[in-house]
Structure 1
Amino acid sequence: MTTEPQRTIAVFGAYGHTGRFVVARLRERGWRPRLCGRDPAKLTQAAAAWPDSETCVARIDDPASLDAALAGCAAVLNCAGPFSDTTAPLIEAALRARIPYLDTAAEQQPVLAAFERYDAAARAAGIAVVPAMAFYGGLGDLLATAAMGDWDRADAVEVAVVLDGWHPTAGTRITGERNTAKRLVIERGALAELPSPPPQRDWAFPPPFGAQAVAAVPMSEIALLSRHLNIGSAMAYLDRGSLRDVRDPLTPAPVAADASGRSAQVFAIEASVRRDGQVRRLGAAGRDIYAVTAPLLVEAMERVLDGRCRGVGVRAAGDVFDAADFLAALAPDPSRLYLSGDPGDE
C-alpha cells in the first residue's frame, strides 16, 4: 500500500440486507464504499440512501465488469450469496487486482473450495483471502480459538447458537434452497459427514435464554476450524426453535426496529473447548445476527489493510487474526456485541 491508503472499498451485494449494514459501517469508519451488484435499479435505489456513493454494475459471469468494479479499490467485501455462485469469480477478480478479499459465507463448500483452489495463488499475489467473516463462520472460529488459548490441541470443540427467533432474509432462503451439499463436522481430526439423524442435546446458555434444546446444524465455522486448529472433533448447534423458524416458509423476513435497520432479534453464541477433562467456554451476545456481521467484517478488513494480520493466502479468522484481541476490540461496539464468559477453566 502507498503512504496514503486508498479509501475506496468495493462491496458486492451492497443492496442486500447484510450489504446495507456493511456499507453503513464502512461509512461510519471513514471508508468510501463502492456499491456493486448486478441489478442497476437496486443499485440506484441503494445509492439514494447515500447520495455521495459510487455505484458499479458488475456480474459474476462478466470478468471485465468485476475488474472495473474493483479498479482503484483497497479491498473487496462479498456480501452476495449464494456464495457457491459468487465466491470463485470474485476471488479471481481480487487476485487479478491484487487486493484483499473477504466474504460472509455461511455455506461450508465454497469456503473449503476457497482454501483448496486459491491459497497458493493468493500467497503468490501477496494478498489475504478471508472467507466466512460473519456471524456464522468467523465469529464461532474466533471464539473457539480464543477459548483454546495456549492449548496446542483439544479433544473437542462445540459451537452453539441461540436466537429468540430467526426471521430469514430472502438471501438466506435462496442459499438454503441451493445448499444441498452434505454438511460436514470434524471427527477423529478430519472432516466427515454429519451423522443422520443430526445429534440433538440440551445447552445451558446464559440468561435470558437458559437451557435450550439444540440440534446439530454445522455451518462454515467447521470449515474454518478444520484449517488451523488441532482438534479431535467439532460440532455446531442451533436452538430448535430457530431451526423451525428458518425452515418454515411462512416465517416473515426481518423487520427494522430502529433507525439503523436492525431488528429486535437477540442472540447468544458460545464456544466450548475440551481437553483431558478440562473445559473452556467463551461466548458473545448481542442483537441482530445480520447487523452484527458488519462490524465483524469491517474490523477484519481494517486489520488486513493495516497489517494487523498474520500473513497472506486463504486464511481462517482465528488463524489470521489475534482472536482474543479481535473480540476485545468489538466488545464495546455500538452493535452491542459483547463478550461473556472467560477463556479460563470452567
Structure 2
Amino acid sequence: MSNLLVYGSYGYTGRLVVATAMERGIEPVLAGRNLSELEAQASEWGLTYRTFDLQRPEIVKQQLSTVDVVLNCAGPFVHTHEPLLDACLETDTDYLDITGEIEVFESIAARDEQATDAGVTVLPGVGFDVVPSDCLAVHLHDAVSQPSKLALGFESLGTPSPGTARTMIDGMLSGGAIRTDGEIRTVPAGWNARTIDFGSGERTAVTIPWGDVSTAYHSTGVPNIEFYMALPSWAIRGTQLTRYLRPVMNTPPVKSGLESLVDRLIDGPSAEQRRYGETRLWGEVTDEESGKTRVARLRTPNGYALTAKTAVESVVRTLDGEPADGFQTPATAFGPEYVMEFDDVVRRDAMVPRSAQVQ
C-alpha cells in the first residue's frame, strides 16, 4: 500500500511532483478523472492508479481510506479542495495541496478546529504558492518588534502552466484583494502600483490576489497585507482594463473561450526553462514603533521546479508526523527557514527608512 495519493497527477505540475516523488523513493498512487491519462502515466512509472471524480462523496472517501496523505494537484482548487478535504477528515487522511487561491486558504483555515479534533493535518499551499513567500513573511515579522504592515511580491520571466493560467483567469475576473485591519478587502484588479527592486533592478509591480493575502495573516498576525507581481506596462494596462470588462468576460461563452485558448497556446515551462530559470521574491515589513522599514529578498529556482521539491518534501515531513494537526501554513508547519533548506535558494536582508524608496 502506498502512503501517498496524488490527485491530478497527470497535469503539468502533477507530473513534476510524481517524478520528484519517485526520485525520493516514494511510489504514489496516481489519481484523477481522466482514465487514458492515468493509464499512460501509470504505465510510464509502473504505478497503480485510481480513476474517480469528486462528485460522489462516498466514492471519494472509499478511495482515500487506504492512504495516509493526499496531495491535491488538481486546480482550480476552489473546485477540488472541499470534496477531498471532506473525505480526508472522515478517513484520518492528511491533506496537502499546491493552491495559491485566497478563498481556498480561507475556506480551509475555517476548518481548523474540525481538523484538529479529527487528528488530521491540513496544509495547503506547499508549492511555490506559498512556501517561499510564507517563509519570507514570517522571517520579516520576526525581524521587527511591532509589525503593522507587510508587502510581498515576486517577479518571474517564466511562463505559467495551463492549470495556473486558468486559475489566474478566475482570479483576474474576481478582481483584486488586500488585507486591511485584519480583514480581506476586495479591490479592483491592479489596484495599486509601485516600484520595487526584486534584486535585478527596479520594476513596476501591481497588486494581485495572491494566496499570501490569506496565509501571511495566519502565519504572522500582521493586519495589513498586500501582494505584488512585476508586470510589463502592457500587462498592467490589460489587468486594469478587466475592471471594466469583467461583466462581459465572466459570461460562460467568453470565459470558456479564454480557457480553451489557454489549453491551445500554453504548455508550461520547458525542461530547460525549469532548470535554468529563477524567480525573485521581495518582502517589506513596516515596524510601527521605530518607523523603519525592513526589506528582504529571496532568489529561488523556477517556480515549478521548486514546487515539485517543496511539495514532496512537505509530504515526507507530514508522513513523519512533523506538522501539528489542524490548519497549517508552510511556515507554521516547518518554520520560516524551511525554504532555505532547498538548493539554490538565497536570501538577502536590508533595512531602510520608511520614507525611502525601496532599492
TM-score range, shorter chain: 0.7 to 0.9
Query: What's the CA shift for 1:301?
Result: 2.2
Larger Rg: 2
Query: Separation in 1 of the partners of 2:175 and 2:313?
Result: 31
2:297–2:348 contact (8 Å) kept in structure 1: yes
Which sections of structure 2, spanning at least 5 residues, go unmatched? 240-257, 353-359
The CA RMSD measured in Å over matched residues stands at: 2.6
Q: Do residues 126 (structure 1) and 119 (structure 2) align?
A: yes
Q: Per the alignment, do residues 56 and 154 of structure 1 end up closer, same or farther by CA in structure 2, a change over 3 Å counting?
A: same
1:241 aligned residue (229, 232, 235)? 232
2:38–2:49 contact (8 Å) kept in structure 1: yes
Which one-letter code corresponds to 2:25 in the other structure?
A: G
Query: Separation in 2 of the partners of 1:150 and 1:238?
Result: 23
Query: What's the CA shift for 1:318?
Result: 2.1
Listed as ranges, the matches of 1:56-205 within 5 Å are 56-116=50-110, 118-149=111-142, 151=144, 153-165=146-158, 167-179=159-171, 180-194=173-187, 198-205=191-198
Give deviations 1:64-108, integer Å, cap 9, x for gaps: 332343232120000101111100001111112202101111111
Q: Per the alignment, do residues 155 and 287 of structure 1 end up closer, same or farther by CA in structure 2, a change over 3 Å counting?
A: same
Residue of structure 2 equivalent to 1:8: 3
Query: Separation in 1 of the partners of 2:233 and 2:39?
Result: 34
Query: What's the CA shift for 1:174?
Result: 2.5
More helix per residue = 2
Q: Per the alignment, do residues 340 and 219 of structure 1 end up closer, same or farther by CA in structure 2, a change over 3 Å counting?
A: same
Query: Separation in 2 of the partners of 1:233 and 1:254?
Result: 33
Query: What's the CA shift for 1:242?
Result: 9.7
Percent identity among equivalent residues?
25
Which one-letter code corresponds to 2:197 in the other structure?
A: A
Which one-letter code corresponds to 1:233 in the other structure?
A: N
Query: Separation in 2 of the partners of 1:186 and 1:255?
Result: 31
Give deviations 1:11-39, integer Å, cap 9, x for gaps: 00000011111111211222121110011
Residue of structure 1 equivalent to 2:43: 48
1:70–1:93 contact (8 Å) kept in structure 2: yes
Query: What's the CA shift for 1:120?
Result: 1.9
Which one-letter code corresponds to 1:279 in the other structure?
A: T
Which one-letter code corresponds to 1:74 in the other structure?
A: D
Query: What's the CA shift for 1:42?
Result: 0.8
Which sections of structure 1, spanning at least 5 residues, go unmatched? 1-5
1:160–1:237 contact (8 Å) kept in structure 2: yes
Normalising by structure 1, report the TM-score: 0.85
2:327 aligned residue (299, 307, 314)? 314
Residue of structure 1 equivalent to 2:298: 284
1:273 aligned residue (285, 297, 302)? 285
Query: Separation in 1 of the partners of 2:202 and 2:106?
Result: 33
Residue of structure 2 equivalent to 1:3: none
Q: Do residues 340 (structure 1) and 347 (structure 2) align?
A: yes
1:63–1:93 contact (8 Å) kept in structure 2: yes
Query: What's the CA shift for 1:136?
Result: 2.3
Query: What's the CA shift for 1:113?
Result: 1.0
Please identify, of 70-79 and 171-180, the stretch whose mean Cα deviation from structure 2 is larger: 171-180
SS at match of 1:65: helix
Give deviations 1:93-129, integer Å, cap 9, x for gaps: 111220210111111112111112x212201111110
SS at match of 2:303: coil
Query: Separation in 2 of the partners of 1:243 and 1:162?
Result: 16
Give deviations 1:112-153, integer Å, cap 9, x for gaps: 11112x212201111110112221223211111122225464
Query: Separation in 2 of the partners of 1:182 and 1:238?
Result: 15
1:76–1:100 contact (8 Å) kept in structure 2: yes
Query: Separation in 1 of the partners of 2:234 and 2:104?
Result: 22
Give deviations 1:295-336, integer Å, cap 9, x for gaps: 122222222232333x21112222222112x12322x2xxx4
2:162–2:266 contact (8 Å) kept in structure 1: no
Query: What's the CA shift for 1:278?
Result: 2.7
SS at match of 2:81: helix
Residue of structure 1 equivalent to 2:205: 214
Query: Separation in 1 of the partners of 2:55 and 2:291?
Result: 51
SS at match of 2:74: coil
Query: Separation in 2 of the partners of 1:242 and 1:308?
Result: 44
Which one-letter code corresponds to 1:301 in the other structure?
A: V
